[in-house]
């Protein structure tokens, strides 16, 4: 994140403005990725008019960075109409997509609309691995072709490589592919539970020992999600991240949450205006009151200064003031020091009858 | 300052925060924050009002007199934004169609 973007986000936190909003316009998708946290059904998506009304409210509230995602955004036949409306409201628009539906005409139109950046999920440079995860034959070839088109038309493209057991040996080759294409590469080992609470995807998280190897690979740079952490020496007075402070997430059904990774319902945009929820939600008010010093386990942890603790993942573990075990594992992989939470879990596991449970993993 | 005209490019993102305009170029991802006077110039860039008039009004809103150096500074600022594609600069009035056309 550039210094100016950090400053704008900090200004948003200070002023209580929703500088960044992530809006999923659909959960429908043409891929069926193994690790996906969505159900791919349409349970009553917002209409075009409803989304435009929300965009009007976001512009009035001060939102600058707008991320459209899904599901697959191009599954909506009105997506270009939504994009055009968002650009007329002068949002900085980023799109997360698998890109398989983008051809020359779409790339040209996206450029004309002034969409600035795309993030495309690629799981491996090996088609068998990538297509195996997406369960869409030919998807790697189609995604890569679209990424080249977007780049050729002058748009910024990031190859997002989510790391899981199925592809954990491929990231170096995938990074090389991104370099050859002249695009950014972002690796993220974060696998989250499904939005319905199912923890089935968590079995795909890579083992801690493999995570350590990844974190010690100097060629990768900062890993995805780690931008949420802080390098400040004294973090006790800080909030955990910008979720709910200067950013939020809106589902295809108009539900507002602090973040896509933080499924704490704060209100619905079909029943209330954005400003009513942003300014008056008791859940957001409570979240904004929490400082690192208030976290019963994490505030005394030696890794607190560099931890990327995600309050949303902690919420999914049962307590937004508690630790996020996935981030404890990342901290352990990065620093070699077990967190207070991991030590407690290890001690707890050591007292059980089954020694096989003594592992640092979920 | 000769008669010149400025219009806001369509290839930008912009939002007014705390009285300062924040602008991101969709072309090169350059991010600008404009002070209140520059923000006033930006907001008045309608393509048909001469630049000299826009600058005079923007500066007079802040100060009682308009120093010549301020006009030169404003022109340099406008040219800098034009180089990044943030503003369109022309010797003739700029229509909405030509401003939009510049983004494609």
Average pLDDT per consecutive 10 residues, chain B (104 residues; last block may be shorter) = 83 90 87 87 92 83 72 85 89 70 34
- Chain A residues with CB inside 8 Å of B34's CB? none
- Mean pLDDT of all residues in A340-348: 83
Distances (CA, A) of A50 to A15, A252, A266, A280: 27, 10, 18, 21
Please tell me the distance from the alpha carbon of residue A108 to that of residue A101, in angstroms, as a whole number: 13
- Mean pLDDT of all residues in A249-274: 97
Please tell me the distance from the alpha carbon of residue A76 to that of residue A284, in angstroms, as a whole number: 30
Q: Give the minimum alpha-carbon distance from B60 to chain A in angstroms, rounded to a whole number.
A: 28
- Mean pLDDT of all residues in A120-144: 98
User: Regarding beta strands A92-97 and A267-268, do their DSSP bridges make them parallel or antiparallel, or are they unpaired?
Assistant: unpaired
Helix (H, G, I), strand (E, B) or coil at A247: strand
Print burial letters for A120-136: b (CB count within 10 Å at least 16), e (below 16): bbbbbbbeebbbbbbeb
The answer to whether B61 contacts chain A (CB < 8 Å) is no
8 Å CB contact of A11 and B14 = no
- First CA to last CA across chain A, in angstroms? 30
Quote the DSSP letter at residue A41: -
- A67 touches A22 (CB < 8 A): yes
* pLDDT per position as a tens digit, A82-119: 999 999 999 999 999 999 999 999 999 999 999 999 99
Please tell me the distance from the alpha carbon of residue B16 to that of residue A194, in angstroms, as a whole number: 37
- Mean pLDDT of all residues in A107-136: 97
- Chain B residues with CB inside 8 Å of A63's CB? 15
- A230 touches A305 (CB < 8 A): yes
Residues near B14 by Cβ (< 8 Å), separated by ≥ 6?
A: A90, B8, B21, B22, B23, B24, B42
Query: Omega into A71 within 30° of 0, i.e. cis?
Result: yes
Range scoring the smallest mean pLDDT among A20-34, A101-115, A263-277, B57-71: B57-71
ipTM above 0.85, yes or no: no
Residue A291 gets the label, from left (phi > 0), alpha (psi -120 to 50) or beta, of: beta
* CB-neighbour burial class of residue A271 (10 A; exposed 0-12, middle 13-18, buried 19+): exposed
Q: Give the minimum alpha-carbon distance from A92 to chain B in angstroms, rounded to a whole number.
A: 5
Range scoring the smallest mean pLDDT among A227-236, A283-292, B23-32: A227-236
Helix (H, G, I), strand (E, B) or coil at A348: helix
Residue B3 gets the label, from left (phi > 0), alpha (psi -120 to 50) or beta, of: beta
Helix (H, G, I), strand (E, B) or coil at A87: helix
Which of the given ranges, A4-18, A28-42, A194-208, has the highest pLDDT on average? A28-42
Label residue A350 by pLDDT band (50, 70, 90). Answer: low
Which of the given ranges, A82-86, A348-352, A356-360, B94-98, has the highest pLDDT on average? A82-86
- Residue written as token pair 């930008």: B12
> Cα A130 to chain center, whole Å?
20
8 Å CB contact of A112 and B104 = yes
Which residue in the set A8, A17, A114 is minimally distant from B26, CB to CB? Answer: A114
Please state, rounded to an integer, the average pLDDT across all residues of chain A: 89
Helix (H, G, I), strand (E, B) or coil at B98: helix
Q: Give the minimum alpha-carbon distance from A35 to chain B in angstroms, rounded to a whole number.
A: 32
- B47 touches B96 (CB < 8 A): yes
* pLDDT per position as a tens digit, A305-327: 888 889 999 998 899 999 998 88
Sign of torsion, CA A205 A211 A217 A220?
positive
Q: Give the minimum alpha-carbon distance from A142 to chain B in angstroms, rounded to a whole number.
A: 25
Q: How much is the pLDDT for A1?
A: 56
Share of chain A above pLDDT 90, in %: 65
A296: its two tokens? 């019963």
Name residues 114-133 of chain A within 8 A of B (Cβ).
114-117
Q: How much is the pLDDT for B96?
A: 63
Name residues 2-41 of chain B within 8 A of A (Cβ).
10-15, 17-18, 22, 24, 26-27, 29, 31, 33
Print burial letters for A78-98: b (CB count within 10 Å at least 16), e (below 16): ebeebbebbbebbbbbbbbbb
A55-58's contacts with Cβ under 8 Å and 24+ in sequence apart are A55/A82, A55/A85, A55/A86, A55/A89, A55/A91, A56/A89, A57/A269, A57/A273, A57/A274, A57/A275, A58/A18, A58/A21, A58/A89, A58/A91, A58/A274
Residue A6 has pLDDT above 60, yes or no: yes
Please tell me the distance from the alpha carbon of residue B99 to that of residue A13, in angstroms, as a whole number: 34
Quote the DSSP letter at residue A245: T
Which of the given ranges, A187-191, A224-228, B23-27, has the highest pLDDT on average? A187-191
């Amino acid at each position: 994140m550039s210094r100016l973007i950090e400053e704008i986000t900090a200004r948003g936190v200070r002023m209580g403005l929703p500088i960044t909003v992530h809006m999923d316009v659909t959960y429908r998708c043409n891929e069926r990725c193994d690790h996906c946290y969505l159900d791919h059904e349409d349970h009553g998506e917002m209409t075009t008019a409803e989304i435009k009304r929300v965009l009007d409210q976001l512009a009035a509230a001060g939102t600058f960075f707008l991320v459209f995602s899904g599901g697959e955004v191009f599954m909506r036949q009105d997506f270009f109409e939504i994009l055009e409306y968002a650009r007329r409201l002068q949002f900085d628009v980023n799109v997360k997509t698998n890109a398989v539906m983008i051809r020359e005409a779409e790339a040209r139109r996206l450029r004309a609309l002034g969409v600035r950046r795309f993030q495309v999920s690629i799981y491996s440079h090996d088609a068998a691995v990538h297509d195996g995860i997406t369960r869409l034959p030919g998807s790697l070839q189609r995604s890569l072709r679209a990424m080249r088109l977007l780049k050729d038309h002058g748009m910024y493209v990031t190859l997002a490589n989510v790391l899981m057991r199925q592809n954990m040996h491929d990231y170096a080759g995938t990074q090389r592919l991104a370099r050859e294409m002249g695009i950014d590469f972002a690796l993220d080992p974060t696998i989250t539970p499904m939005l319905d609470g199912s923890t089935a995807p968590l079995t795909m998280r890579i083992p801690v020992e493999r995570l350590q190897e990844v974190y010690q690979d100097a060629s990768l740079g900062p890993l995805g999600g780690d931008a949420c952490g802080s390098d400040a020496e004294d973090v006790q007075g800080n909030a955990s991240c910008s979720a709910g402070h200067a950013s939020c997430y809106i589902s295809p059904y108009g539900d507002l949450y602090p973040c896509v990774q933080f499924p704490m319902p704060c209100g619905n945009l079909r029943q209330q205006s954005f400003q009513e929820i942003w300014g008056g939600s008791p859940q957001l008010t409570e979240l904004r009151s929490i400082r690192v010093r208030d976290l019963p386990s994490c505030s005394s942890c030696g890794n607190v200064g560099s931890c990327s603790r995600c309050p949303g993942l902690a919420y999914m573990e049962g307590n937004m003031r508690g630790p996020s075990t996935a981030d404890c594992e990342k901290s352990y992989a990065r620093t070699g020091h077990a967190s207070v939470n991991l030590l407690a879990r290890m001690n707890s596991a050591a007292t059980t009858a089954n020694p096989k449970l003594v592992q640092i993993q979920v | 300052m000769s008669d010149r005209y400025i219009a806001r490019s369509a290839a930008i993102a912009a939002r007014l925060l705390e009285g300062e305009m924040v602008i991101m170029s969709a072309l090169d991802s350059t991010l600008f924050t404009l002070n209140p006077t520059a923000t006033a110039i930006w907001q008045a860039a309608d393509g048909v009002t001469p630049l000299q008039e826009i600058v005079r009004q923007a500066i007079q809103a802040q100060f009682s007199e308009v120093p010549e150096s301020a006009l030169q500074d404003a022109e340099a600022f406008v040219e800098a934004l034009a180089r990044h594609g943030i503003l369109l600069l022309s010797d003739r009035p700029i229509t909405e169609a030509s401003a939009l056309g510049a983004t494609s």
